[in-house]
Amino acid sequence: MAQSLVVSAQEMDSQMQCAARVREGFPGRTYHIVTYGCQMNAHDSENLAGMLEEMGFAPAAQEEADLVLFNTCCIRDNAERRLLGNVSALSQRKREKPDLLIGVCGCMMQQAGGAQRLLSLCPFVDLVFGTHNLYRLPELLLSALSGQKVLAIGGDERGRIPEGLPVKRASAIQGSLTIMYGCNNFCTYCIVPYVRGRERSRRLADIVREAEEMASAGIQEILLLGQNVNSYDGGATFPELLRALDGVVPRIRFMTSHPKDLSDALIAEMARSRSVCPQFHLPVQSGSDKVLREMNRVYTRAHYLERVRALRQAVPDVGLTTDIIAGFPGETEADFQDTLSLVEEVQYDSAFTFIYSPRAGTRAAAREDFVPPQVQHERLDRLIALQETATARALRSQVGSVQQVLIEGASRRREGYLAGRTGRGMTVNFPGPSSLIGKLVFVRILGTGANTLRGEIAQGECSK
Instruction: Specify the residue, 110 or 227, whose C-beta has the smaller distance to ligand SF4.
Output: 227
Residue 75, interface with ligand F3S (CB under 6 A)? Answer: yes
Instruction: Specify the residue, 41 or 286, whose C-beta has the smaller distance to ligand F3S.
Output: 41
The residue from 77, 97, 146, 186 that contacts ligand SF4 (CB under 6 A) is: 186
Distance of CA 232 to the CA centre of its chain: 16
The residue from 173, 190, 195, 326 that contacts ligand SF4 (CB under 6 A) is: 190
**What is the rounded distance in angstroms from the CA atom of residue 381 to the CA atom of residue 274?**
39
Closest to 224 (Cα-Cα) out of 279, 304, 268, 298: 279
Residue 228, interface with ligand SF4 (CB under 6 A)? Answer: yes
The entry of ligand F3S, ligand SF4, ligand SAH, none that residue 37 binds, CB within 5 to 8 Å by partner kind: ligand F3S
For residue 178, whether the previous peptide bond is cis, meaning omega lies within 30 degrees of 0, is no
Each residue 217-236 as x (binds ligand SAH by CB under 6 A) or -, in order, gives ----------xx--------
Q: Is 169 helix (H, G, I), strand (E, B) or coil?
A: coil
Residue 358, interface with ligand SF4 (CB under 6 A)? Answer: no
What single string gives the DSSP state of each residue in 228-273? Answer: TGGG--SSS-HHHHHHHHBTTBSEEEEE---GGG--HHHHHHHHH-
For residue 108, what is the enclosing H or E element? helix 107-110
Residue 351, interface with ligand SF4 (CB under 6 A)? Answer: no
Residue 325, interface with ligand SAH (CB under 6 A)? Answer: yes
In the bound state, the residue with its beta carbon closest to ligand F3S is 37
Q: Which residues contact 358 (CB under 8 A, 6 or more apart)?
A: 77, 189, 364, 365, 370
Residue 40, interface with ligand F3S (CB under 6 A)? Answer: yes
| Burial label, 71 (beta-carbon count in 10 A; 0-12, 13-18, 19+) | buried
CA dihedral 170, 172, 173, 176 (to 10 degrees): 50
C-beta of 191: minimal distance to ligand SAH in Å?
7
Residue 283, interface with ligand SAH (CB under 6 A)? Answer: yes
Q: Which residues contact 459 (CB under 8 A, 6 or more apart)?
A: 442
Q: How many residues would you count in the chain?
A: 464
In the bound state, the residue with its beta carbon closest to ligand SAH is 323
Residue 190, interface with ligand SAH (CB under 6 A)? Answer: yes
User: Which range of residues in 95-103, 197-205, 351-359, 367-375 is near ligand SAH by CB under 6 A?
Assistant: 351-359
Closest to 6 (Cα-Cα) out of 235, 248, 227: 235
Report the site for ligand SAH in 239-278 (rule: CB under 6 A): 256, 258
The entry of ligand SF4, ligand SAH, ligand F3S, none that residue 280 binds, CB within 5 to 8 Å by partner kind: none
Residue 180, interface with ligand F3S (CB under 6 A)? Answer: no
Residue 292, interface with ligand F3S (CB under 6 A)? Answer: no
Structure letter (DSSP) for residue 371: P
Measured distance between the N- and C-terminal CA atoms of the chain, rounded to whole angstroms: 37
Closest to 43 (Cα-Cα) out of 185, 237, 222, 203: 222
> Which residues in this chain contact ligand SF4 in the complex, by CB under 6 A?
183, 185-187, 190, 192-193, 227-228, 258
Q: Which residues bind ligand SAH (CB under 6 A)?
A: 75-76, 189-190, 192, 227-228, 256, 258, 283, 285, 323, 325, 354, 356-357, 359
